[in-house]
């Protein structure tokens, strides 16, 4: 049998896994969700869930992947026949996410090209509104973005994903710092810093606020760490036994968090300084940063590099989603890599084109006050991923057994496994219980 491809080094894996984790979730979504959920208080809840829910599930997924060396569905099936559905949820989730993710990826491309051809954007808020509501342009950019990602995955793992992530991730961190340093010197910026660094408990005045805060934070943890949907099972399946999974499960969330907080530092103070609305929603990044770029020296060039880096961040995440789908069709259905990329690609490009119209022509199509785009995000972050995470915990904690997980974490005795008891508690009791409680209470 053909030997399974492997990451060329643990650093390569780490960068690819961080590349999957760090993406639009950190740069585009995190700041606007923080803005809509009361600032600092959201960050505290997010941090708690990241440590006690995110990191253990990350370990479980990577262990299952490396142990079985299979795609998400077959990996779960191998651990326990009949459990393939747990990984199957991931393939479904990846489809759903790709439909809207590549719409935002398209927005990023549009802004990149806008800054390449012109020196600034006049009236950023109106500009964003007109663009996002227009019927054709966002679809074209979405299709270009999707086609680029599909092309990269067609080339295979280490050739495509690893190389890109190694270079751009450190650069991305550097550039957001450059922007953030400029932003915090703007007048009134300090109120933006206070908004997300100092929790304001008065923002919570009913139990339903608490529940919705928890649900939003949990959704964001899953989304941002690429959890509950087989990405890390798939990536772990290419990981060598010399890698220390437990360490990776600390590095990845830490790096992911740093980038998310930096994104907040670059965006939220600017929102306050230019008297915009922190609750603006999905357009926050696009309608805020152009103000900043018009106010700082070399703004145009910084904007071009910034959007280029955001584009890379989005690409490395999107390709990890396509990889989840493709590796299933390649391993399980024996499709060629090309077919396994192109056919699902055509489907998510089509649904994405419809989602892209949610802000304009199709904005009247609503369910419970959510447009198509919002519904796709709710379906993935708040339903499919947490349910996937729940089953991963049950599979690892009770069926495979945490002991077998420790065996994999230690790489057959090479590495010491830390916090065994706590981990066992988190995976067997805390995480599944939290997911169920948050899930049920969200209906009230
Ligand atoms: N974590 C990615 C981001 O933050 C999105 C993603 C979710 C990627 C799930 C893969 C799987 O942008």
Segment 15-36, tens digit of pLDDT: 778 888 999 999 999 999 999 9
Scan for tokens 């459990």, then name that residue: 83
Neighbours of 23 (CB within 10 A): 29
Q: Candidates 17, 320, 324: which one to mutate for ligand 1, based on the most atoms within 8 Å of Cβ? A: 320
User: Is 226's C-beta closer than 6 angstroms to any atom of ligand 1?
Assistant: yes
Contact 417, 410 (CB under 8 A): yes
Share of the chain above pLDDT 70, in %: 96
Condensed to tens digits (0 to 9), the pLDDT of residues 291-307 reads 999 988 899 999 999 99
Output the pTM of the full model. Answer: 0.92
Task: Name the residue of 99, 224, 225, 389 whose CB sits within 8 Å of the most ligand 1 atoms, as the mutation to test its pocket.
Answer: 224
Nearest 10 degrees: Cα torsion 304, 309, 310, 311 = 90
What local confidence, expressed as pLDDT, does residue 409 receive?
A: 92
Residue 112 belongs to what H/E stretch? helix 84-117
Centre of ligand 1 from the C-alpha of residue 150, in Å: 16
From 17, 23, 383, give the residue whose CB has the most ligand 1 atoms within 8 Å, as the site to mutate: 23
Distance 414 CA to ligand 1 centre (A): 31
Mean pLDDT of 318-340: 89
pLDDT, one tens digit per residue, over 250-279 is 999 999 999 999 999 999 999 999 999 888
Q: 17 to each of 231, 234, 332, how far by Cα in Å?
A: 9, 10, 23
Nearest CA to ligand 1 atom 9: 226
Residue 97 CB less than 6 A away from ligand 1: yes
Residue nearest to atom 10 of ligand 1 (CA): 226
Indicate whether 160 pLDDT > 60.
no
Backbone phi, psi, residue 274, to 5°: -95, 15
Where is average pLDDT lowest: 15-24, 113-122, 135-144, 389-398?
15-24
- Is the model's pLDDT at 63 over the cut of 50? yes
Q: Is 237 in the pocket of ligand 1 (CB under 6 A)?
A: no
């Amino acid at each position: 049998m053909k030997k399974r491809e492997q990451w060329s080094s643990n650093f390569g894996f780490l960068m690819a896994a961080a590349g999957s984790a760090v993406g639009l979730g950190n740069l585009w979504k995190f700041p606007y969700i923080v803005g809509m959920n009361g600032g600092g208080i959201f960050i505290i809840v997010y941090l708690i869930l990241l440590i006690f829910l995110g990191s253990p599930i990350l370990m479980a997924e990577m262990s299952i992947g490396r142990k079985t060396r299979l795609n998400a569905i077959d990996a779960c099936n191998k651990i326990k026949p009949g459990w393939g559905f747990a990984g199957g949820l991931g393939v479904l989730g990846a489809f759903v996410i790709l439909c809207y993710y590549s719409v935002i990826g398209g927005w990023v491309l549009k802004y990149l090209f806008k800054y390449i051809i012109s020196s600034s954007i006049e009236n950023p808020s109106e500009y964003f509104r007109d663009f996002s509501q227009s019927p054709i342009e966002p679809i074209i950019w979405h299709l270009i973005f999707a086609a680029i990602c599909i092309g990269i995955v067609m080339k295979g793992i280490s050739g495509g994903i690893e190389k890109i992530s190694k270079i751009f991730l450190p650069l991305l961190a550097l550039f957001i710092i450059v922007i953030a340093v400029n932003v915090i010197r703007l007048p009134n910026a300090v109120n933006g810093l206070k908004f997300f660094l100092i929790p304001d408990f008065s923002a919570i005045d009913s139990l339903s606020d608490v529940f919705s805060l928890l649900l939003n934070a949990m959704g964001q943890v899953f989304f941002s760490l690429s959890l509950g949907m087989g990405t890390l099972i798939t990536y772990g399946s290419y990981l060598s036994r010399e890698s220390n999974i437990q360490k990776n499960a600390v590095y990845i969330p830490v790096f992911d968090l740093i980038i998310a907080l930096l994104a907040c530092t670059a965006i939220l103070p600017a929102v306050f300084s230019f008297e915009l609305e922190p609750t603006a929603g999905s357009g926050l990044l696009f309608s805020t940063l152009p103000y900043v770029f018009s106010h700082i020296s070399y703004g145009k060039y910084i904007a071009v590099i910034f959007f280029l880096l955001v584009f890379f961040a989005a690409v490395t995440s999107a390709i990890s989603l396509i990889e989840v789908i493709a590796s299933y069709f390649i391993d399980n259905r024996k499709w060629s890599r090309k077919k396994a990329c192109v056919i699902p690609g055509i489907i998510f490009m089509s649904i994405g084109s419809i989602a892209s119209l949610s802000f304009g022509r199709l904005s009247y199509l609503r369910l419970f006050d959510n447009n198509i785009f919002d519904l796709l995000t709710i379906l993935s972050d708040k339903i499919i991923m947490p349910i996937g995470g729940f089953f991963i915990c049950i599979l690892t904690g009770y069926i495979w057994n945490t002991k077998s997980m420790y065996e994999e974490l230690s790489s057959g005795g090479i590495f010491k496994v830390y916090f065994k008891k706590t981990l066992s508690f988190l995976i067997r009791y805390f995480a599944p219980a939290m997911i169920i409680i948050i899930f049920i209470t969200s209906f009230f």
